[in-house]
Every structure is written in C-alpha cells, then in structure tokens.
C-alpha cells in the first residue's frame, strides 16, 4: 500500500488534480446554471398557499388546483412529547375529515422527526414544506431546535404554531416582526410565566401556614431558568421571600441528597426545583422521599409532569407539588372540548395524552381550520396565504379568546414583555396550574379548575 503511493509523482498528481478541478467546475457550473434556469418553474408549480422555495416569492394566488389541505407535524418522535403531538394532530385531522374537511377539502397529515438535532430538524422542516407542500406547521419541543427551525420558517414563510419554552422566541417576533411573524406559541410554557405561577404557589403555601420566608432553589443550568428567575425575583421581593441558596445543576445531575440535607440544616421548609433539562426529577423525588426530612418539594419539574412519573419513582412522588405547564391536567379538563379530546384520545391510543404538547397540537389543527374558514367567509381571495393566516390568528387576542381544549388568545405584536404571539396567561386563559401527585394521580390544587386539596407528604 505504502509502495503504491510512492509511485505517484507530484507532477502527475497535480495534473490529475487540475483535470479534476476543471471537470468539476464545468459540472458544477452547468448544474448551477440549470438550477437557476429551473427556478421560475419551481414557483409556477407551487401549490397555492404553499410558500415557494425562493427567498423573494411573488404573491401567491389561489388556483382551482388546490384539492387538499396539508398539515405538517414536526417533533422528536422518539419522545413522548413528539408522539403525543403527532397522535393529537392525527386525531384532530380524522375528526375534521369525518366532518367534511376544511372548506370542503380533505386534510392530510405529514410528519417529520427532528431527532432533537437542529440539522435534521431544519431539513425535515424544509421537506415537509417544499416536498409535502404543507400549508401550515405545528410541533416543536426543545428551545434550541426551535431556534433552528424558525429560520426555514421565516425563509419559507409558513405559519407555525409551535411548542418550546424559551422567551427568546417571542422576542424574535417582537424584534423582527416581518420575518418571524409566522411563529405562534400554542403551548403555555414561556419560562417567564412559570415565575408568576410559582409566586402564586408560595402564596398558597404561606396561606396554609408553611414558612416560605426562605426557599432553596435547585434549577437547570440553562437559559430558560434564568428567564424564570428574572421574573421571579421581583415577585419574591414583593412577598419578602429570600432565596437562601440557588443551586444550578447540569444535565443528568443525580446527587440531590447532600443538597436536601443542607437545606434541612439551614432550617428551610420549601425546596423549589426548576428542572427540565436535568432530566432527573425522578431521582430528586426518590431521594426526597427516602430522606423523609421536613421539606416540601414544590416547584416546576418537567419529569413530574410525565404520567408515568409516580410509577417510575415507586410512589416516591406522593405529595410532590409541581406546575402543570401547557394548561391541562388530565383529571381536570378546563373545557368541554378538552374533556372530549381526552376521552377520544384514550379510546384511540389506549391511554390519555402522554404529554401536555398534545393539547397544543390538537388545538393548532382546529385553530388553523378556524382561521382559514374565517378568512374564506370574509371573502379573502386566498385564505391559505401565510400572511392572511397570521393576520387572522392575531384576531384571537386577550379581548377575543377562543375556547378549544383550553381558552386560547395570543399577545398582540408589540407586547411590553416581548411576549408577541405567545399564549395569554391567566386564570381565564391558560395557566401552568399548581398541581400535586396524590395516590398516583395528578390533581390541580389551586385556581379556577382546582379539583383537590393540597396534602402533606406521608411522613409529615
């Protein structure tokens, strides 16, 4: 092998390299020329309402060729958060098709898997829009992936009712409206709203006679918890609550016992987890229940939201107080449609929606149907035009909410908190309900849809 390479003299190599270079440039040039020649053709072929692939699209106009409506779901399909979105959208689409479709056209579901990788997410997003001709997208999960997907969304101009938790996304809509206006958040999980619900949780604990003057925070080492903290701090100041210690933990962190022991030594009564990325809320609950210290565990933990959490922790979750982000706890559906959806979903898939993102995806499909029909009724020439869809979605503002599985309204552009196109937060809209694990079930223990009283951990 080594000998063979010695035989190639430098000059010959260069000759070949030069030949290769020339051949390549010719080929590439031909390709580029052909490619640029092809572009107008691509546009004329575009299904009306589907954003064309060119960055400077001509206005789309309706043609009689539109025969179906395509809805794309994009999410990490190996996770519950992804599967539930696909299932929920599928269910909504089936129901809509059985009831006659959208504007008389059948609806087709297409889906892509982000694999939680930004490159995959972006190419799947593009595939769904340009090959499958999706009219509209829903899905998401995980802020970093969402950041990456917002770029093809802006380039391809496609309405996107999304799930992700960073306040950075609506801020983009706020700062570059024309570019990012196609983005709406359909789940209530802007990290910042957790702060308001946490503050309410402390009020509740205070009313019940627990000492919340000092709290011990254990949170993800991640941007989303910084946003929570920046909104939480003023609320704590207002209530005279001191953060005795603020511990940041990384992905996969498991040593909670020394922290709980320390909190107990400091005379703390309330330990506040703010966890999602760590992914080890189960370990926290287990170590907490095993140590049996006089500590309440009350905060926000994505793991605790999981329906299998109680079993996974061997019942250690009993008494764990958490925020149900997304606005629905299965035992306490806030609307009739929600009750119906949980029933239908359970009938179809054998279990209730396995993550809150399902409510978002289900609502997204119905919302899209709704705005397209509204635009059509108003006599808009092309109700599928992305700009029209955005304009009609914006009609659901705090003064004009719509009841789906939750009461949906979006903050209008120019929001003072930079929450543009985010779900409106509040008792009459969507909240991250204060909930608790009791006897293997999740109950809401405060607010408008409360369905159980708070209990103490078994060893208190």
Partner 1 sequence: MSKLRKYWNIDIGQLSYLIGFLLVMGVLPIFLPDTLLYILGLTFIFIVFAVSWDFMTGLVGEVNLGHTIFIGVGGYVTALLNVPTRFKNTFLDILTNIPPPPIPITILLGGVIAAITGILIGLITLRLRGWYFALVTAILPLLFIKATYVLKDIFGGEEGFSVGLSKALAPDTIGKYIITLLFMAASILILYGIKNSKLGLTLIAIREDNTLAEALGINIYLYKVFAMGISSFFAGVSGALLVHYRVTISPDLFDVPLMLLIILAVVIGGLGTLIGPIIGGFLIYLLKYWVLKVYLIPYIPTTIPINDDIILYILLIIIAVLMPHGIYERLKRFYMAM
Partner 2 sequence: MVSINTVMIILLYGATFSGILALISSGFTLIFGVSRILNFAHGAFFMMGAYIGIYFVQQLNLDPILSSLISIILVGIFSIAAYITIIYPVIKNEVMTIIVTLALALLIEQVILLTYGEFGLSYPRLVAGTLTIGDVVIPMVRLTILAISILTILGLWIFIDRTRIGKEINAASQDPEGAILIGLNVNKIYAITIFVSAVLAALSGILYSQMYAANPFQILNSLILAFSIVILGGLGSVKGSIISSFIVGFIYIAVTTLIGARWSEFIALAIIIVILIVKPTGLFGVEE
Q: Which does 287 bind (CB under 5 to 8 A by kind): partner 1, partner 2, none?
A: partner 2
**286 is an interface residue for partner 2 by CB under 8 A:** yes
Residue 179 beta carbon to partner 2: minimum distance, rounded to whole angstroms: 33
Residue 195 beta carbon to partner 1: minimum distance, rounded to whole angstroms: 19
**77 is an interface residue for partner 2 by CB under 8 A:** no
Our CA angle for 55, 60, 64, nearest 5°, is: 140
Residue 444, Ramachandran bin (φ over 0: left; ψ between -120 and 50: alpha; else beta)? beta
Residue 176 class from Cβ within 10 Å (0-12 exposed, 13-18 middle, 19+ buried)? Answer: exposed
Residue 307 beta carbon to partner 2: minimum distance, rounded to whole angstroms: 10
Q: Which does 292 bind (CB under 5 to 8 A by kind): partner 1, partner 2, none?
A: partner 2
> Alpha-carbon distance 323 to 341, whole Å?
21
The helix-helix angle for 336-349 and 357-377 (nearest 10°) equals 120
Sign of the Cα pseudo-torsion (193, 198, 203, 204, in order)? positive
Tokens of 357: 């993102």
Residue 332 beta carbon to partner 1: minimum distance, rounded to whole angstroms: 29
The binding site for partner 1 (CB under 8 A) comprises: 1-8, 10, 13, 16-17, 19-21, 23-32, 34-36, 38-39, 42, 53-55, 78, 83, 113, 117-120, 122-124, 126-127, 130-131, 143-144, 147-148, 150-151, 154-155, 166, 168, 179, 221-223, 226, 250, 277
Residues 242-271 as x/- pattern, contact with partner 2 by CB under 8 A: -----xxxx-xxxx-xxx-xx-xx------
Residue from 62, 15, 45, 69 nearest 369 by CA? 69
Using the minimum distance from each CB to partner 1, give the nearer residue, 248 or 395: 248
> Alpha-carbon distance 133 to 72, whole Å?
9
Residue 99 beta carbon to partner 1: minimum distance, rounded to whole angstroms: 26
Task: Choose the binding region for partner 2 from 87-95, 163-171, 187-195, 287-295 (rule: CB under 8 A).
Answer: 287-295
According to CB under 8 A, which one of 101, 106, 144, 279 is a site residue for partner 2? 279
Using the minimum distance from each CB to partner 2, give the nearer residue, 234 or 440: 440
Q: How many CB atoms lie within 10 A of CB 377?
A: 10
According to CB under 8 A, which one of 85, 313, 435, 442 is a site residue for partner 2? 313
According to CB under 8 A, which one of 221, 226, 373, 387 is a site residue for partner 2? 221
Backbone angles phi, psi at 446, to 5 degrees: -160, 155
Helix, strand, coil share (%) of the chain residues, nearest 5: 45, 15, 40
Confirm if 341 and 445 have CB atoms less than 8 A apart. Answer: no
Using the minimum distance from each CB to partner 2, give the nearer residue, 257 or 387: 257
**437 is an interface residue for partner 2 by CB under 8 A:** no
Residue 201 class from Cβ within 10 Å (0-12 exposed, 13-18 middle, 19+ buried)? Answer: buried
Beta bridge partners of 70: 108
Q: Which does 451 bind (CB under 5 to 8 A by kind): partner 1, partner 2, none?
A: none
Residue 357 beta carbon to partner 1: minimum distance, rounded to whole angstroms: 17
Residue 254 beta carbon to partner 2: minimum distance, rounded to whole angstroms: 4
Cβ-Cβ contacts under 8 Å for 447 (sequence gap 6 or more): 200, 427, 431, 433, 434
Residues that bind partner 2 (CB under 8 A): 78-80, 218, 221, 247-250, 252-255, 257-259, 261-262, 264-265, 279-280, 282-283, 286-287, 290-293, 303, 306, 308-309, 312-314, 316
């Amino acid at each position: 092998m080594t000998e063979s390479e010695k035989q190639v003299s430098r000059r010959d190599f260069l000759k070949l390299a030069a030949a290769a270079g020339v051949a390549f440039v010719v080929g590439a040039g031909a390709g580029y020329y052909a490619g640029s020649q092809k572009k107008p053709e691509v546009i004329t072929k575009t299904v009306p309402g589907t954003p064309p692939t060119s960055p400077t699209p001509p206005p789309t106009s309706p043609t009689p060729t539109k025969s179906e409506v395509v809805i794309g779901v994009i999410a990490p399909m190996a996770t519950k958060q992804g599967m539930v979105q696909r299932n929920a959208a599928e269910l909504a689409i089936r129901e809509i098709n059985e009831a006659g479709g959208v504007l008389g056209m059948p609806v087709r579901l297409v889906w892509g898997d982000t694999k939680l990788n930004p490159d995959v997410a972006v190419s799947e997003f593009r595939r769904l829009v340009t090959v499958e001709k999706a009219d509209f997208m829903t899905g998401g999960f995980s802020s970093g992936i969402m950041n990456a997907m917002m770029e093809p969304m802006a380039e391809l101009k496609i309405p996107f009712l999304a799930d992700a938790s960073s306040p950075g996304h609506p801020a983009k809509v706020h700062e570059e409206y024309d570019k990012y206006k196609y983005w709406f958040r359909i789940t209530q999980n802007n990290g910042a709203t957790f702060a308001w619900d946490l503050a309410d949780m402390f009020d509740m604990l205070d009313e019940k006679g627990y000492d919340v003057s000092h709290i011990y925070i254990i949170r993800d080492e991640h941007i989303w918890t910084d946003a929570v903290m920046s909104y939480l701090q003023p609320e704590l100041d207002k209530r005279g609550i001191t953060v005795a210690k603020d511990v940041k933990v990384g992905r996969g962190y498991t040593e909670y016992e020394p922290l709980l022991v320390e909190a107990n030594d400091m005379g703390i009564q309330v330990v506040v987890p703010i966890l999602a990325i760590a992914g080890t809320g189960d370990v926290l609950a287990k170590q907490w229940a095993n140590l049996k210290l006089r500590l309440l565990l009350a905060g926000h933990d994505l793991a605790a939201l999981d329906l299998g959490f109680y079993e996974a922790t061997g019942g250690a979750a009993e008494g764990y107080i958490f925020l149900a982000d997304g606005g629905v706890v299965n035992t306490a559906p806030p609307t009739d449609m929600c009750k119906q959806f949980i029933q239908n979903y359970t009938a179809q898939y054998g279990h209730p929606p396995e993550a809150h993102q399902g409510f978002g995806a289900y609502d997204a499909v119905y919302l899209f149907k709704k705005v397209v029909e509204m635009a059509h009724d108003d006599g808009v020439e092309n109700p599928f035009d992305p700009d029209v869809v955005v304009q009609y979605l914006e009609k659901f503002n705090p003064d004009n909410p719509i009841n789906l599985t939750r009461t949906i309204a979006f903050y209008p552009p120019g929001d003072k908190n930079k929450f543009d196109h985010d779900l409106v937060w509040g008792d009459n809209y969507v909240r991250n309900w204060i909930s608790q694990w009791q006897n293997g079930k999740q109950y809401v223990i405060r607010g408008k849809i409360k369905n159980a009283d708070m209990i103490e951990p078994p060893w208190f």
